[in-house]
Structures are given as C-alpha cells and as structure tokens.
Amino acid sequence: MSVLDDIIAGVREDLDVRRQKLSLDEVQTLARQAPAPRDALAALTPRAGGVRVIAEVKRKSPSKGDLSAIQDPAELAAAYERGGAAVISVLTEERRFGGSLADLDAVRAAVDLPLLRKDFTVDEYQIWEARAHGADLILLIVAALDDATLDSFLKLTERLGMHALVETHTPEEVERAVAVGARIIGVNVRNLKTLEIDRSVFAALAGLIPAGAVVVAESGVRDIADVETFVADGAQAVLVGEALVRHSNPELTVGEFARAGSALHH
C-alpha cells in the first residue's frame, strides 16, 4: 500500500465519523447559506512583478513529522495576508497533517483572501463541506481519482462557485487534468506514493500545461532560490508550507517569495 493509499483510507474513516454527525443534506444546506465564494482563479492569475504565493497553515507532514505547533492558525494566516499571499491553504486532514475544519473556520474568520481547503478529496461530501466552511478552492489529486470522478468533482466544485487546484505528478496525470478542463493545475514535486522530492519534475511537466491554465509549483520550496527556479521553469504560483511555518517571520518570508522571480517576468 502506498503512502497515498494509506492516507486516503484514514480520510475515509474520518469522513464516515463526520457524516454520522451531519448528513449530506445538512451539509448542503450549510453550503448554500455560506457567503459567496471569493475568486481564487483571479487571485492566482499572474500579474507583473512576481509570483503568486499560496501560503499554507500546516502543523506536520508525513515526510517530516512535526513542523510547527501553530497555536493560533488565524494569527498565522493574518501574517500571510499582510505579507502579500494570494491565497491561504489550510490543511484539514487530521491524522498525518494535524489539521482540522476548526482551523479552516478560524482562518476564514480572520482573513479576506481566498482559502484552499487542503485535503484528500475522495467524496462529494467533502466538496460541499469545504463550501460550508467558507473554502473557495479545493484540492483534487489526479492520482487519487479516476477520470469520471475527477470530472464530476471538478464540475460540482465549479457549480458551487469554487475552483479546484488539480494536482499532478506525471505527464499522464497532466494530460488527464487538461482533458477535464482544469484551469488551475499543480505539479507536485513530491511523489505521494513514496514521499520523495524531485524538483526536476516541475520543469518536465510545466511545459505540458496549456497556456490559459494557472501553473502552480507544489512542494519543495526551501528558499527564494527554489521559488526563482520554479518561476524560471514556468510557475505562475507556488504553494509553500514548511518553509513558512518553520520561519520566525512568515510575513516577511511570504513577501520575499512573492517578489522572487519578478525580474524573470519582465
């Protein structure tokens, strides 16, 4: 069993517990009552003078273990917003990442930026749930979904006024993401089956993504040099977690990352 399979098995168990407390009908009612979603696609569309940063509220990861205690996710998110983040990502997976929907709620109340609910979406319940909790963007991992499910999840997401970050790791997955009409395509340089990082994967895949889609580099950002490399290889946005939560001044770091690569855009 790969790491991804193992994570998804846990996600399904935790989902069953939440579903017993709140039916799909109830979650759908809450989603329809939620304030209108913010436009994450517009927020991630590149503009002159740098790269768009998706800054992540992330306590731990399967590859690195504990990263940061993050006593106050809202305070961290507000620092990201002040630093110039375009979107804030909140991990809601509990077992491996130490996240929760409570973190998402706290961040939603604190910032006005679009929010990515970062989780392993394997059931439409989670898409309605994301909207009910104020998410504007969800993660769809191509490796975790068959084509029909990927297509139906993307359509539901867009019907609810949200967008999806469609995550890929191989040329075949990029092809599948493009085929369903994904408009925000992420290339994860971490292999979710082995957790190994290979930064060269980004350059190899970014060129396969058609113009008009926003290209996001996911994982592997340690510093400004990594951001600049990804931008040079075609990234319009970078998703950064560990390098920000481990830093003593996340606000400053987000700003530095956001300006990185600006010379390459001119």
Task: Compute how many other C-beta atoms are within 10 angstroms of the C-beta atom of residue 235.
Answer: 27
Q: CA 136 to CA 155: how far, in whole Å?
A: 14
Name the strand (E) or helix (H) holding 176. helix 171-179
Pick the catalytic residue: 81, 93, 129, 167?
167
In DSSP terms, 56 is beta-bridged to 89
Pick the catalytic residue: 60, 89, 93, 118?
118
129 is known as an active-site residue: no
Pick the catalytic residue: 89, 219, 251, 256?
219
Pick the catalytic residue: 173, 218, 228, 251?
218
DSSP strands (E only) in the chain: 52-57, 60-61, 65-66, 87-91, 115-118, 137-141, 163-168, 184-188, 214-218, 237-240
Say if residues 175 and 145 touch (Cβ distance below 8 Å): no
167 is known as an active-site residue: yes
158 is known as an active-site residue: no
In DSSP terms, 185 is beta-bridged to 166, 215
188 is known as an active-site residue: yes
The count of C-alpha atoms lying within 13 angstroms of the C-alpha of 82, restricted to the half-sphere facing its C-beta, is 11
Pick the catalytic residue: 188, 191, 228, 242?
188
218 is known as an active-site residue: yes
Say if residues 101 and 108 touch (Cβ distance below 8 Å): no
58 is known as an active-site residue: yes
- Coil, helix or strand for 6? helix
Evaluate the CA torsion angle 247, 97, 140, 192 in order and state its sign. Answer: positive
The count of C-alpha atoms lying within 13 angstroms of the C-alpha of 123, restricted to the half-sphere facing its C-beta, is 14
- Region class of 240: left (phi > 0), else alpha (psi between -120 and 50), else beta: beta
- Amino acid of residue 93: E
56 is known as an active-site residue: yes
Give me the active site residues, please.
56, 58, 118, 167, 188, 218-219
